[in-house]
Chains A and B, each alone.
Chain A
Amino acid sequence: DTGVSQDPRHKITKRGQNVTFRCDPISEHNRLYWYRQTLGQGPEFLTYFQNEAQLEKSRLLSDRFSAERPKGSFSTLEIQRTEQGDSAMYLCASSLQQYTEAFFGQGTRLTVV
């Protein structure tokens, strides 16, 4: 069990650039979640997948954000035309089923300068 893996761990980008993050869930988990966390706040839900289907997107997820999970395995989160307000920790989690325990990856810390 290698756990949830996220790449990169850190990303510094200039305002206006596009960035893409990758998440590899625990292998047998069919649910994959993306969250965003800023300092002093709890994780805020962005979107989630069951297998390759994107089932829900938060209102936080503007049209600059897109997520995919093409084969029901790894997922990518892309942010286009980054803004300073996008600076945060982006967390990926996976779970085996609905209602069950979700396990987080190490996160990707994004800094937009």
Chain B
Amino acid sequence: QKEVEQNSGPLSVPEGAIASLNCTYSDRGSQSFFWYRQYSGKSPELIMSIYSNGDKEDGRFTAQLNKASQYVSLLIRDSQPSDSATYLCAVTRNTPLVFGKGTRLSVIA
């Protein structure tokens, strides 16, 4: 059974701080890793993809991948109240995406 684990939160951070979201996965053969943001009542929105070990930066977002530890993380710098949402980690090998349950982030103004 392929699993993706995330802390459900809520994770509360003050405005301007760095939010750190973590994800572990069970399938060692996983090849592609994604972070989605989902606002309440809306559908998931892709914000980051990462395919190789290391860091990938896009604006205020940094995705980090460590395949040996089967660990993916998302850092959000200068957190804003508009970043308050549920963040979903998704992983794939050669099958459709497997999602974690998501971490709820609350950025406090």
Contact = CB atoms under 8 A, between A and B. Distances in A.
B96 A56 contact: yes
B30 to A, nearest CB: 10
A102 B95 contact: no
Contacts of B90: 42
Interface in B25-49: 31-32, 34, 36, 42-46, 49
A33 interface: yes
A110 to B, nearest CB: 14
13 contacts: A35-B99, A40-B101, A41-B101, A42-B88, A42-B99, A43-B97, A45-B98, A48-B96, A99-B94, A101-B34, A102-B97, A104-B45, A106-B42
Q: What size tier do the contact residues of chain A reach? A: 20 to 34
Contact of A42 (B42, B49, B51, B102): B102
B32 A100 contact: yes
Contacts of B44: 43, 91, 104
Nearest to A102: B97
A67 B102 CA distance: 27
B62 interface: no
Given A33-B96, A45-B97, 17 more contacts: A35-B99, A40-B8, A42-B88, A42-B90, A42-B99, A43-B44, A43-B88, A44-B99, A93-B97, A99-B32, A99-B51, A102-B34, A104-B36, A104-B44, A105-B43, A107-B42, A107-B43
B34 A43 contact: no
A98 interface: yes
A103 interface: yes
B80 interface: no
Interface string A27-56: 000000101000011111100100000001
